[in-house]
A and B are shown apart, each in its own frame.
Chain A
C-alpha cells in the first residue's frame, strides 16, 4: 500500500510556485494559452457529438433533393410528412411498438425475477446459495457470441423464434446476471429490523418481500431498471439472430435493415426521419433523468 505524497517542489511548476503574493489568486500566466487550447478542445468534442445528431434531425425534415444538393443547409419548408411516411410506410411505427412490447415485457420480468432471486440470495442462508450466486456472476463474464449458435437452436426447439415471448424470455435471461449481482449487494445493505418486526406481526416470507423489502429497495431498483431499459432497448445482436420475422422486428433491427436494403436508399429523408424517431424518445428520457441515468449506467462499471 502506498500513500501519495506530492513532492514539495515539482520541476515544471516553475516560477509561479510559492512566489504568489498572498491575497492574489494563484493564476499562472504561462498556463493561459494551454488553458485556452484545453477549453477549445472541450468545445470541439461537444460539437463533434452534437453535430451529427443535429444534422440527422435537420435532414429528417428536408426533401431528398435538399439533402443531396445542400447537405447542411436549412430546409425551405419543414417537412414533417417525412416522419409520417417513415412511421407508416417504412413500418417504423410498427417496429417502435414491437420494441415497446418486448422491452417492456422483458424489463418487468427481469426486475421481478431479478429482485426475487437477489432477495433470496442476500437474506437467506441455504445450501447452494453461493453456487447460485456465482453462476449468475459468472454469466456476466462470458461473451454472448459464445452462446449464440446453441441459443438459436434452443429457442428454435421451443418454437419461440420470431415471437414476442421468445425475445422477452431471452432478453430477461441475459439481463438477469447483472440485475441479480447488483440487487444482491443492495439487499444486503438494507437493515433487517423492519423485516423482523413484520415477521413478528405474522407476515409471510413473500409478504415481507413484497410489502417491506421491495419498497425499501426502491433506489437500487430504479438504478438497475434504468440500466436494463437502455441495455435492452439498444439490443441488436439477439434480435438479429432470434427474430427473423419482419413483422416482429424491433426498432434497432428494423432501422438497420432499412439502411442496409438498397431499395430504400432512394428515400433518404424517410430514413433520416426513422433515425430521429428512434433517437428522440431515448434522448428525451435521458434529458429528464440525466443524473439518475448517468449514475445508473456507471454503477455497473464500479463493482
Chain B
C-alpha cells in the first residue's frame, strides 16, 4: 500500500496549495510590505517610506473617527448581544415551569429558536437594505410604528441624526447576531447534565442563583468564544455602514468605521499604500483584542 504515496500526495495537494498561496498567503504578506510604501497603483512609483503611512494615520481625523466608532461598537455590541442571547437561551432551555418533571425550556422553544436564527441566514447586504427602509423617515417602518402606537414624538430621521446613526447601526448588528448566539448557547446548555440543575433545585436555588452559579460557569467557554467573534464583528461593520448610512460613514463621520476608510482610500482615492497601512493597523488591533479577551476572561475550565 505504500507505493505511489508521494505521487498521490503531490497530485492532491498541489492545486489547493497553489490557490491558497496565490490568493490568500501572498496578499497577506504583501500587505505588510505595501503598508511601508506610498504606492498609488502605478508600479513604477512605489517608494519605500518606512513608517510614514502610520504617522499620517495618527493625524487623520477620519481614521480616528473610525477608530472611535469601532471602539464604541466594541463596547456595546458584544456585551448587548451576549446578554440578550444568554437570557433568551436560558429562558428557552431552562426557563419552563419547574415541576417535578425536572428542568425544561419554555413553551414553544423550537419555534423561537427557529425564528431567532432567521437573520443569520440572510446576507448582510440584504439586512442593510432592509433596515435602511426601516429607518427611512417618511414611509419607514420605525416611524410609522411609532405613529401607530401614539409615540409620534419619538419620530426621527434616524440615520441622518449624528447622535443616533451609530446606535442605529449597532442595533442592526445586534439584531442580526443574537439568534446565532442563542443557538450556540442553547447547544452548550443542553449538554449540561440535568441532574446538576435538579440538585440545585432540591437545594432550593432560585432561578437567578442557578443561572449565576451553575449555568454561566458551565457555558463560559462559549461565552468567551462569543466575545472574540463579536469583537471581530464589531471591528468590522463595513457592509452595513457602507450600504445603509448616508455618505457612507456619515452624517459627519458619525458612522465611519476603519474598514470603510480602508476601502475608500484604496478604491476611491487610489492610496493603496496608505490603505494597506490601515489594514495592518486593523490587524494588530484585532490581534491585541483577541489576546486580551482570552486573558481577561480566563477562568478555570469546569469539567462535567
The interface size of chain B toward A, counting residues with CB under 8 Å, comes to 121
Residue on A nearest B110 in the bound complex, by CB: A290
A80–B98 Cα distance when bound, in Å, is 49
Rounded to whole Å, the gap between the CB of B96 and the closest CB of chain A is 10
A56: interface (CB < 8 Å): yes
A259 touches B144 (CB 8 A): no
Interface string of A220-238 (1 = CB under 8 A from B): 0000000000100110110
Of the candidates A41, A126, A251, A297, which one forms a contact with B180 in the assembled complex, judged by CB atoms under 8 Å apart? A297
Q: Given that A27-B98, A145-B279 are known contacts, is A113 also in contact with B15, CB under 8 Å in the complex? A: yes
Residue on B nearest A203 in the bound complex, by CB: B1
B99 touches A13 (CB 8 A): no
Rounded to whole Å, the gap between the CB of B232 and the closest CB of chain A is 7
A173 touches B204 (CB 8 A): no
Q: Which of A155-195 contact B (CB under 8 A)?
A: 155, 169-170, 172-174, 176-177, 180
A14–B187 Cα distance when bound, in Å, is 30
Interface string of B110-125 (1 = CB under 8 A from A): 0011111111111111
Q: Which of B148-191 contact A (CB under 8 A)?
A: 148, 175, 178-180, 183-184, 187
Q: Given that A4-B217, A146-B31, A148-B266 are known contacts, is A234 also in contact with B123, CB under 8 Å in the complex? A: yes
Of the candidates A52, A206, A230, which one forms a contact with B141 in the assembled complex, judged by CB atoms under 8 Å apart? A52
A124 touches B130 (CB 8 A): no
A255–B229 Cα distance when bound, in Å, is 27
Interface string of B264-298 (1 = CB under 8 A from A): 00110000100110111011001100100000000
B266 touches A259 (CB 8 A): no
Q: Given that A27-B98, A120-B9, A234-B122 are known contacts, is A67 also in contact with B139, CB under 8 Å in the complex? A: yes
B27 touches A283 (CB 8 A): no
Of the candidates B1, B17, B26, B133, which one forms a contact with A150 in the assembled complex, judged by CB atoms under 8 Å apart? B26
Q: Given that A25-B100, A149-B276, A176-B20 are known contacts, is A259 also in contact with B129, CB under 8 Å in the complex? A: yes
B26 touches A154 (CB 8 A): yes
Interface centre among B26, B91, B121, B259, by most chain A C-beta atoms within 10 angstroms, is B121
Q: Given that A8-B203, A46-B112, A132-B13 are known contacts, is A71 also in contact with B126, CB under 8 Å in the complex? A: no
Q: Which of A135-158 contact B (CB under 8 A)?
A: 135-136, 139, 141-143, 145-155
Q: Given that A120-B9, A145-B279, A150-B30 are known contacts, is A237 also in contact with B238, CB under 8 Å in the complex? A: yes
The interface size of chain A toward B, counting residues with CB under 8 Å, comes to 115
A71 touches B5 (CB 8 A): no
A19–B122 Cα distance when bound, in Å, is 50
Interface of A is mostly: helix
A1–B116 Cα distance when bound, in Å, is 35
Residue on A nearest B283 in the bound complex, by CB: A146
A72 touches B145 (CB 8 A): yes
A42 touches B204 (CB 8 A): no
Q: Which residues of B contact A285 (CB under 8 A)?
A: 121
B71: interface (CB < 8 Å): no
Interface string of B188-218 (1 = CB under 8 A from A): 0000000010011111111111100110011
Of the candidates B122, B134, B199, B209, which one forms a contact with A10 in the assembled complex, judged by CB atoms under 8 Å apart? B209
Q: Which residues of B contact A25 (CB under 8 A)?
A: 97-100
Rounded to whole Å, the gap between the CB of A32 and the closest CB of chain B is 11
A301: interface (CB < 8 Å): yes
Q: Given that A173-B19, A297-B180 are known contacts, is A282 also in contact with B31, CB under 8 Å in the complex? A: no
B141 touches A275 (CB 8 A): no
A230 touches B121 (CB 8 A): yes
13 contacts between A and B (CB under 8 A): A1-B303, A8-B203, A16-B204, A72-B145, A116-B12, A148-B263, A150-B276, A173-B24, A176-B24, A206-B11, A268-B133, A286-B117, A298-B180
Q: Which 5 A-B pairs have the closest CB atoms?
A: A252-B125, A173-B23, A150-B30, A147-B27, A205-B8
